[in-house]
Structure 1
């Protein structure tokens, strides 16, 4: 589960730093993007709800693996965006998609046994891009770095106003 928190913190870092230059990225929108960072990790629901049980209930073939792909992120972000008022739906979808896409990019950098990332670009393509194998998901150092960077961005964000001047 360390990668879930890392993905959420990465979305916080990227969107908060972007908010220093882009006025339209407000703290509530950063929070929505952070939620989007958790979308690909919904695949871990399989630990609680077996895909075979869902398959039997639906009467259709089902797998949780599609959740951690671009198509899964788009579909789930769209479903979540429907919970927002019609005025905010497009922005919510955009920030959910941004957070989810960042999470997929981070997943593409981790170590895979065969040196290729998962087919996270599905349904665009089944191609499995090569991975630089930068980190192992279970390595606690990744989480420590994520927390440290997020804490630094949090402190700097509190000192910098939206117009770029210090408080």
Structure 2
């Protein structure tokens, strides 16, 4: 769970920083970017429901591993954009941006074999070597991302109080 929260906090910080420059990125769109950061981990539903159960319910073979790839996130961001709002294109872009922040951060974490997952599928199956910047189970990852999000939130508050950022 700490890694999932870290991805949401990273998306919050990045979207908030972008909102300082782009007027249309309101707090609502920051929240949507945070939801987008959750998209790649939808494959974790397999921890609670087996593939066989999903196959029985849906009537088709199911494999959830492809969700944690570029193709899977594009597909789910498209579905989410159609459900989420009337501004479908903007919602798709913001959801995808949040999901891409998740995939990029996962692309630099430590893996046992030294290569990241095939997260660039369907573009390529290539598993690039990872710099192993962090271990996802390390609690310090959450501490660092929480502190970073707190600094961004404080800066956002100060900028809004001074009138440098004029958004509701």
Aligned counterparts of 1:10 and 1:130: Cα–Cα separation in 2: 23
Runs of at least 4 residues off by over 2 Å: 55-61, 161-167
Aligned partner of 1:30 in structure 2 is 30
Q: Confirm or deny: 8 A CA contact 1:69 1:121 kept in the other structure.
A: yes
* 1:97-149 deviation per Cα after TM superposition (whole angstroms, max 9, x unaligned): 00001100011111111111000011111111111101111100000111111
Aligned counterparts of 1:91 and 1:65: Cα–Cα separation in 2: 27
* Alignment length (residue pairs): 166
* 1:144-166 deviation per Cα after TM superposition (whole angstroms, max 9, x unaligned): 11111101111110110399738
Aligned partner of 2:94 in structure 1 is 95
Aligned counterparts of 2:85 and 2:48: Cα–Cα separation in 1: 31
Q: 1:117 to 1:51 in 2, by over 3 A?
A: same
Aligned partner of 2:134 in structure 1 is 135
Unmatched segments (≥5 aa) in structure 1: none
Q: Confirm or deny: 8 A CA contact 2:33 2:98 kept in the other structure.
A: yes
Aligned counterparts of 1:160 and 1:23: Cα–Cα separation in 2: 14
Aligned counterparts of 1:28 and 1:152: Cα–Cα separation in 2: 20
Unmatched segments (≥5 aa) in structure 2: none
Q: 1:43 deviation in Å? A: 1.5
TM-score relative to the length of structure 1 = 0.92
* 1:10-55 deviation per Cα after TM superposition (whole angstroms, max 9, x unaligned): 0001111111122222111111000000111111111111122212
Aligned partner of 2:81 in structure 1 is 81
Q: Confirm or deny: 8 A CA contact 1:159 1:166 kept in the other structure.
A: no
